[in-house]
């Protein structure tokens, strides 16, 4: 089976990027990373890409006066690398309708909560304050809302009495590293079918 090409958008340390790199290297996903793009110069994720000999590109969002120009460059870089799927891995910019139109149902995100609960930022803090007994993570397709797209895979993580924001985050991150490559592999093998809000997994 031919492998698909992934473009990964990052802003920070890139631990989920590393999980995808490792899965691709081991042949666990039918995909290769064609390019890593960061909107933040000096993001550690870029070093991970370079170490893995993956093209690493900086498109500094602060260097563009107009959002449209920034978006156009992101799209240009992804298309120039013939990307089939865009994966967000700690990318701290909103995906706009213009980018979504170019990659319809081909942009994935990983979120450290069981959506639709606790979208947005600081989600472990919100979960602990709310008193939930179970948290987790979600891989979903990106749509126009904030963490509202159709859900592909979720993993549950029990919340312990002694949990802090940091300890819960660390346990959830381990599950993120497992389910993100799985979701990518399902897409790569053509096993995901989007029907409205639901995603059916073909067997």
Determine what percent of the chain falls in helix, strand and coil, rounding each to the nearest 5: 35, 25, 40
Which alpha helices (DSSP H) does the chain contain, by range?
A: 15-25, 44-51, 67-80, 97-102, 123-130, 165-188
pLDDT value of position 161? 97
Q: Are strands 4-10 and 85-89 parallel, antiparallel or unpaired?
A: parallel
Q: Which of 81, 104, 111, 122 is catalytic?
A: 111
Burial letters 162-182, b for 16+ CB under 10 A, else e: ebeeeebbebbbebbbebbbb
pLDDT value of position 75? 98
Q: Which CATH superfamily is domain 4-201 in?
A: Formyl transferase, N-terminal domain (3.40.50.170)
- As a three-state string, the secondary structure of 10-49 is ECCCCHHHHHHHHHHHCCCCCEEEEEEEECCCCCHHHHHH
pLDDT value of position 2? 87
Is 111 labeled as catalytic in the residue annotation?
Answer: yes
| Token digits of residue 188 | 């790569």
- Return d(Cα 7, Cα 121) in angstroms, integer: 23
- Along the chain (203 residues), what's the average pLDDT of each consecutive run of 10 residues? 94 98 98 98 98 98 92 97 98 93 97 98 97 98 95 98 98 98 98 96 92
What number of H helices and E strands is found in the chain?
6, 9
pTM of the full structure: 0.96
């Amino acid at each position: 089976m031919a492998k698909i090409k992934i473009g990964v958008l990052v802003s920070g340390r890139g631990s989920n990027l590393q999980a995808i790199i490792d899965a691709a290297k081991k042949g666990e996903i039918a995909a290769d990373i064609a390019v890593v793009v960061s909107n933040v110069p000096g993001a550690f994720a870029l070093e991970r890409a370079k170490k893995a000999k993956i093209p690493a590109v900086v498109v500094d969002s602060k260097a563009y006066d107009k959002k449209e120009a920034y978006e156009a460059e992101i799209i240009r870089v992804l298309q120039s690398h013939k990307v089939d799927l865009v994966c967000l891995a700690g990318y701290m910019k909103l995906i706009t309708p213009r980018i979504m139109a170019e990659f319809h149902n081909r942009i994935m995100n990983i979120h450290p909560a069981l959506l639709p609960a606790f979208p947005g930022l600081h989600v472990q803090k919100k979960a602990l304050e709310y008193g939930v007994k179970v948290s987790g993570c979600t891989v979903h397709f990106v749509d126009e809302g904030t963490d509202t797209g159709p859900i592909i895979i979720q993993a549950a993580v029990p919340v312990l009495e002694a949990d802090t924001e940091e300890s819960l985050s660390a346990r959830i991150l381990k599950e993120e590293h497992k389910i993100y490559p799985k979701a990518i592999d399902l897409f790569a093998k053509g096993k995901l079918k989007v029907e409205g809000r639901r995603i059916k997994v073909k067997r």
